[in-house]
Copies of this chain bind each other. A is one copy, B any other.
Amino acid sequence: MSGNLKGVWAAALTPMRDDLGADLDVMVAHHRWLLDGGCDGVAVLGTTGEANSFSVVERRAVIDAVAAAGLPLDRVMIGTGCCAAPDTVELTRAALAIGCANVLMLPPFYYKVGDDGLFAAYDQVIQAVADDRLKVIIYDFPKMTGMEITTALVERLHAAYPQTVVGIKDSSGNWDDMRAVCEAVPGFATFAGTEQYLLPTLRAGGAGCISATANVTAALCQQVYAAHLAGDAAQADTAQDRATAVRLMLQQYAAVPSLKEIMAEHTGRAGWRHLRPPLLALDAAQAAALRDDMVRLGFSLAAAA
């Protein structure tokens, strides 16, 4: 598996100022807190980071802030996949320019096409970027894109670019799909899109997970990964059961709003609740229900950290 592309990764939230610009200082502090609190890496500018609600210029400012903060770039991946290939190329080059080789790349997600069209889309971007350092993690999120990245397409892309197309974040929620990729492409960095399948993915030879909820569950997830690495299967199973229970509770709520609500509660910084439309903050009743559910499960950031 490629370098550090393994373990527990958070699809990091993007905190915002009152004017809904990215709050870059709070953002990189959040990245550091995640890296210090159980995350092997952070995926910046993914779905959870509301990347698609930011312009290319704004996303480049986020990339530059990551560089300026001196974050360990082998523990960072940058989301760069846009609908328009010129945008994807520009952002991928920007990630490489700061020394971050790992990019999490959505397919162009407006037009609905099959394997041939998606292959052509990835192919043209990789050809245009033309940089041997590039490591592409394919981003499969059918609920958002309306398309599936098939195992056959993953095999085809990896065969065409074995040194470049090195992994996948599978946010399908479908374990059979994740297992199929683990089995079809040995050595591929297959990340489950949810910590619910962290241990099954590791046991199937995959890399780990890249998860939205890991913004708040990183410590729980790391207990799973550490027990697995230590060869303690019973302890890994116990930790996975705990992580799964918390994840299943959290995913009853709108993903980004609920995670920002938890961060606002934890830090006392109300601005954490800012979201860009079309996403909206939890209302008071939803926030109260979330707090109750957390108490019921005995889950808090203070306890987890």
Rounded to whole Å, the gap between the CB of A27 and the closest CB of chain B is 17
Q: Does A54 contact B (CB under 8 A)?
A: yes
Q: Does A280 contact B (CB under 8 A)?
A: yes
Q: Are A85 and B277 in contact (CB under 8 A)?
A: yes
Q: Are A58 and B86 in contact (CB under 8 A)?
A: yes
**Interface size on A (CB < 8 Å)?**
37
With A109-B110, A146-B146 already in contact, the answer to whether A118 and B278 are too (CB < 8 A) is yes
Q: Does A249 contact B (CB under 8 A)?
A: no
Q: Which of B47, B87, B117 interacts with A278 by CB under 8 Å?
A: B117
Q: Does A269 contact B (CB under 8 A)?
A: no
Chain B residue with the shortest CB-CB distance to A106: B110
Bound: A54/B83 CA distance, A: 8
Chain A residues 54 to 93 lying within 8 A of chain B, measured CB to CB, are 54-58, 83-87, 90
Q: Does A33 contact B (CB under 8 A)?
A: no
Chain B residue with the shortest CB-CB distance to A276: B85
Bound: A252/B107 CA distance, A: 25
Rounded to whole Å, the gap between the CB of A173 and the closest CB of chain B is 14
Q: Which residues of B contact A84 (CB under 8 A)?
A: 52-55, 58
Q: Are B55 and A120 in contact (CB under 8 A)?
A: no
Q: Which residues of B contact A144 (CB under 8 A)?
A: 110-112, 146
Q: Which of B107, B276, B278 interacts with A107 by CB under 8 Å?
A: B278
